Structure 1
Amino acid sequence: MTANSPVKYPSQFPKSTGAVEISEPEGSLTLADRRLFNHLLAAAYRDLGKVDGHTVKMSEIRAFAAAARDGIEDTSNRRIKASITRLQQTMVQFNYLDSARGEVWRSSQLLGECELVERTGELTYSFPRGLAERLIEPALYSYISLKVVYQFESKYALILYEILKRYADRNAEAPFWPVRTSELRDLFGCRDKLKDWKDFNVRAIQPAIEEINDLAEFRVRMSERREGRGRGGGKVVEVTFWIDRKDATAAAATARELDKARVQRRGERRIKAEEQEEARVVRLALAWMQGADIQTRMRWVKHAEAAGVTLPKGATAPENLAKWVPAVAAAIAECESLR
């Protein structure tokens, strides 16, 4: 292979469950760290167990990442070195059965010794022996797409995608993954972050689900299980992620989504979010107007008329509100302090 030859990575590679479900409560691994580990595993996969060390050019890592994300390639290895260090400091644990010894527990670094020759830009790296054994022919694994991995903009989306991919690949009619919220927090690195369930759900889980539904080969939805008494029926103690495989039409739409530039995708998401917020405000304003007295409705009819809105006959009647309230919904929500 010449220096200019592009490295051919497998479009998908099996990744051991133990290397997917990395429980790190403090959340020290970044999105870039997780992408890099997948990249190193994909580059080494064909030779796992055959050689002790694997070599890849840093320029190829940077170029692949830039091409996959439609971005500008880094000119420095500083960020990759920082990611390597964090990967070396992260521990994974395995429980497995040995035919002679019975049940075995093993703890290992996520990434072993690494050496970078600055002049050539060649990185030689290794996986700890115990981890490598589990990676070669894992009993439980996810088929991971390196291209999809580099598209995610949220660490939480990548974590959830890698876990759910194993269930999506199963030959089950309706795959699902139930998980305690405490375990999910540790997997997301949020044991001490976003402590309120609503914040955790809104800021971590739901954006992750949205990204997965846009970019992955499957869709996911979530249900909650609560225990005890309290607001909303008690505390959320467990959630279940339900997986729906995409049909041919949806899969083709996903492929087109993956080919879009990140800036285009971000713009479309922003527009979608604005449309969703506009629809939410309209629903709020309509519901509020439905419960308002006739004097309040008349006041807003005059406001709408002054704003140039075309009003139907009997504009204050409940059945006619939907014909004009959306045009002044933002003003209603602001003036009446609707949330």
Structure 2
Amino acid sequence: MKKSTQKILIQNLFLASSTPLTLADRRLYNYLLHNAFHHFLKQDSFKILLTELIGVYGAGLPPLERLKESFRRLIRTLIEYEVDGKWNITSLLEKAELDEKLEQVTYSYPVECKMLFKDPIILEKSLIQAHFTQKYSNLLYEILATAHYAKKSTLSLEITDLRSRLHIHEGKLTNFSDLDRFALVPAIKEINSYASFAVKYFTKRKGMKVTDVIFEMTSKRDISNTENVIPPKRPRLFIDNPDMERAYAYLLNAETDERRKFFDLARKTAEKKNKRITEEEFDRPDLWFKWVERQLLTKTKD
């Protein structure tokens, strides 16, 4: 009998956590995935030396208390999804064991998480949500990703349908200018920063009224190979000056809103020197740290 190759349909997948993941948490998770992925489905647990985690929190070895905090947040981050109408829940990590004597961490993933991550699209959907901070980013990403991975280059939605799918209540963001400013623009900005495809959109009008939004999606990178979904290990910024190292580490461990302030300042400063910093570099402090060194040194001064 021929084995069925029908793909299991995963729906309504989202990450849930009482505490948002920091950039350092996400970097740690990416390092762990890189370390485990070649044997992801074959092994139950994995080991990684602390020396292989240099660059997660700064230029040196990971501070043990920060490492523990990151593992706590990762294990508490849940993945909720539906299969055949049945609600499922699992977590990003199952367990972690820190051996300070051997300077290594042993860690494992839930079986359900490993099965989900076999699919590159599901893996991207899971990892990308850890980046989103705007209210409508995940819902809009789900809408556009479904169309994009179904090989559709455009998607036209009536305003009423778009509002419904973004769960915008009646009486809220009723004018398109408000819908555009508070929902579409910030969500598209985040999607274009982190997704494997880029989005732009246009409007269709009837008289003065906007009736439809037309989205256009283009691929930025091929994620048919699951391992390509995991962000590459970033070039590490090695700093000998303790004050500079503390300032750089502050960026890596800052909340998203705080890092955004310094990122926007770096972009403005770079523009004055005719240098361009793109939105996609937001999670790459090693590329724009030099533009805000002075401000960060002041911020982190003892």
What TM-score, normalized by structure 1, do the two folds share? 0.43
The structure whose RCO (Cα within 8 Å, separation 6+) is larger is 2
Q: TM-score, normalised by structure 2?
A: 0.48
